[in-house]
Amino acid sequence: MPTLASGPPEPHHHRQVAESFGTDPERYDRARPRYPGELIARIAGPGREVLDVGCGTGIASRQLRDAGCAVLGVDPDERMAAFARRSGVEVEVARFEDWDPAGRTFDLVVAAQTWHWVDPVAGAAKAARVLRPEGRLAVFGHAFRLPPEVARAFAEVYRRAVPGSPFSAPQADRHEEVFDKAADGIRQAGGFGAVERWRFDWEQHYTRDAWLDQLSTTGMLTWLPEDKQAEVLDGAGAVLDALGGGFTMPGSTIAMVAARES
């Protein structure tokens, strides 16, 4: 079993978690939420050439393509890339920091729910190199806010299954910290104008099956052995049964957007 340090991990130092999502790309693509249409409309445009960093199964890539963009994905996992290709997304397999752009440049670089797996300064510097003048870097992702009683119950389930893991205690809302680090990385890298922060609020009701389906695609589970995954899912299912079979969760999609300076 991969070992994570105690305390809140720095995600980009734990590639074994990032690269475990491809164990079931079909489930990942089915269960993961899409991005708000308002966000896609603000960054997309007919004919724009887009680089999707950590494109995974192509969820954001397809939304951008459907909005008229020409999209190239980069992802370190061949399994995820193969799934995205089946839906018509062009993907090159590499870590973004190691990827060779071969002289290509783009109007837009996006990272949808993936930038925390990239070194925030090195990644932003590379994005600046492949962006055309006044092209934009858009880093966005979902901030899930479990109801407190649900978060505590899930943390207890995880603590019993994987004692000592950083996921085994209720986590404070670290989403703002994640996006603050992204913004700081963009500023430290240089080459960009002011960083804008956009927020799109939403609310989602999850049935028992829908939540367990999504939970199975998260880094909390994908890096665990199958018996531990089953133990967590069984425990989470029992929690949801006790809650009446589901719950409603408020959340937001947050975007950090900056234009490359000319």
- Which pLDDT score is estimated for 134? 94
**CB-based contact 16:2 (threshold 8 Å):** yes
> Rounded to 5 degrees, what angle do the CA atoms 93, 95, 100 make?
75
- Determine the 3-state secondary structure of 155 from DSSP: helix
* 4 — pLDDT class (breaks 50, 70, 90): very low
Is the pLDDT reported for residue 170 higher than 80? no
Is the pLDDT reported for residue 38 higher than 60? yes
* 172 — pLDDT class (breaks 50, 70, 90): very low
State the pTM of this model: 0.88
- Which pLDDT score is estimated for 213? 95
Is the pLDDT reported for residue 64 higher than 90? yes
**CB-based contact 104:70 (threshold 8 Å):** no
| pLDDT single digits (tens) 45-63 | 999 999 999 999 999 999 9
Higher-scoring residue by pLDDT: 23, 117: 117
Is the pLDDT reported for residue 169 higher than 60? no
Is the pLDDT reported for residue 166 higher than 70? no
Is the pLDDT reported for residue 18 higher than 60? no
Q: What is the mean pLDDT of residues 192-200?
A: 97
Residue with tokens 């703002």: 176
Please provide the DSSP assignment of 18-37 as one string: HTTGGGSHHHHHHHS----H
- Which pLDDT score is estimated for 5? 37
- Which pLDDT score is estimated for 173? 57
Count of H helices and E strands in the chain?
11, 7
Q: What is the mean pLDDT of residues 107-124?
A: 96
Portion of the chain with pLDDT greater than 90, in percent: 80
Tokens of 146: 């479990």
Q: What is the mean pLDDT of residues 3-11?
A: 42
- Which pLDDT score is estimated for 222? 81
- Which pLDDT score is estimated for 2? 38
Contacts of 103 (CB under 8 A, 6+ apart): none
User: Lowest-confidence range among 112-116, 200-204, 221-225?
Assistant: 221-225
**How far apart (Å, rounded) are the C-alpha atoms in residues 30 and 138?**
24
DSSP-assigned letter for residue 120:
H
- Which pLDDT score is estimated for 1? 39
